[in-house]
């Protein structure tokens, strides 16, 4: 079992492995981003982060007014043998890192390559991949916006459900109230026989105009009769009365023989 065994041999000797790490670290500082196998990228990360930390601390001390840290440069020069890359490390990279507490390098897996099927990856300096950081920031902003939209949609749906439930409850209360309150009874008056007879009688047609109401016709007849009685003088009324008496007497005479015949 591999207890307390650090690092990867990478199928190389120790001298070959040191040369490989030196070449990878130099390329990473120069280009800020390289593509290699996943095992080499992870092994490079183990060596490059302590080197960047040493360069950052030296840069801070020099900015504070202390003399140039030659010792730090000599220690780093044991791995990075290119003077131009060494200058970039102690100026640009150390300044870009700032107060970042480690994690200067990012390893991104790419999948397996054709041929031997080895796992490939990209190793890059985090502070120099602004496009990746901007893309990640945009992705975070987009996710936060989508989450806010989902929350707003849920709140609107909850409010709609609540208002609908309130409307249903109000409708049920109204229906219960209508059931409880009795309907007002219609007061119907019974029709008198005279009114029924008037309604059954057809309306009389007059020569002058359209059909008239029977009640109005009766009232008009009674008024005409009353006016006729008032207009007739007493001299004219007397002969009429005598005629009526004579007719009554004649009728009595005619009825008498009938009675006598019946008695005999």
Q: What is the pLDDT of residues 171-186, one digit of tens each?
A: 777 777 776 665 555 5
Percent with pLDDT over 70 in the chain: 71
Q: How far apart are alpha carbons 203 and 28 in whole angstroms? A: 120
Q: What is the mean pLDDT of the chain?
A: 81
Q: How far apart are alpha carbons 105 and 52 in whole angstroms? A: 10
Residue 130 confidence (pLDDT) above 80: no
- State both tokens at 262: 């019946």
Q: Is residue 154 helix, strand or coil?
A: helix
Per-residue pLDDT, 35: 96
Q: What is the CATH number of domain 14-128?
A: 3.90.1030.10
Phi and psi angles of residue 12, each rounded to the nearest 5 degrees, phi first: -135, 160
Q: What is the DSSP letter of 35?
A: E
Residue 121: CB atoms within 10 A of its CB come to 20
**pLDDT digits over 91-101, tens only?**
999 999 989 99
- Please state the pTM of the whole predicted model: 0.52
Residue 211: pLDDT band (50, 70, 90) is: low
Burial of 152 (0-12, 13-18, 19+ CB in 10 A): exposed
| Domain boundaries of the chain, sorted by first residue | 14-128, 129-176, 204-254
Per-residue pLDDT, 215: 62
Per-residue pLDDT, 186: 56
């Amino acid at each position: 079992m591999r207890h307390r065994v650090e690092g990867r041999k990478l199928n190389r000797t120790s001298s070959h492995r040191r040369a490989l790490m030196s070449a990878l670290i130099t390329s990473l500082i120069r280009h800020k981003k390289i593509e290699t196998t996943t095992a080499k990228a992870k092994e490079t990360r183990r060596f490059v982060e302590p080197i960047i930390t040493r360069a950052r601390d030296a840069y801070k001390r020099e900015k504070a007014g202390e003399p140039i840290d030659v010792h730090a440069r000599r220690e780093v020069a044991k791995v990075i043998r290119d003077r131009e890359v060494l200058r970039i490390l102690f100026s640009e990279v150390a300044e870009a890192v700032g107060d970042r507490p480690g994690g200067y390098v990012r390893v991104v897996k790419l999948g397996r390559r054709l041929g031997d099927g080895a796992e490939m990856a990209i190793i890059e300096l985090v502070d120099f991949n602004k496009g990746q950081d901007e893309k990640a920031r945009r992705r975070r902003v987009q996710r936060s916006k989508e989450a806010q939209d989902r929350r707003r949609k849920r709140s609107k749906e909850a409010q709609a459900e609540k208002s609908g439930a309130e409307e249903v409850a109000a409708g049920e209360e109204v229906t219960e109230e209508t059931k409880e309150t009795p309907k007002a009874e219609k007061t119907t008056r019974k029709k008198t026989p005279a009114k029924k007879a008037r309604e059954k009688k057809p309306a009389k047609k007059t020569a002058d105009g359209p059909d008239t109401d029977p009640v109005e016709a009766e009232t008009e007849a009674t008024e005409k009769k009353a006016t006729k009685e008032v207009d007739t003088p007493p001299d004219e009324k007397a002969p009429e009365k005598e005629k009526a008496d004579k007719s009554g007497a004649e009728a009595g005479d005619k009825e008498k023989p009938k009675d006598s015949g019946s008695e005999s």
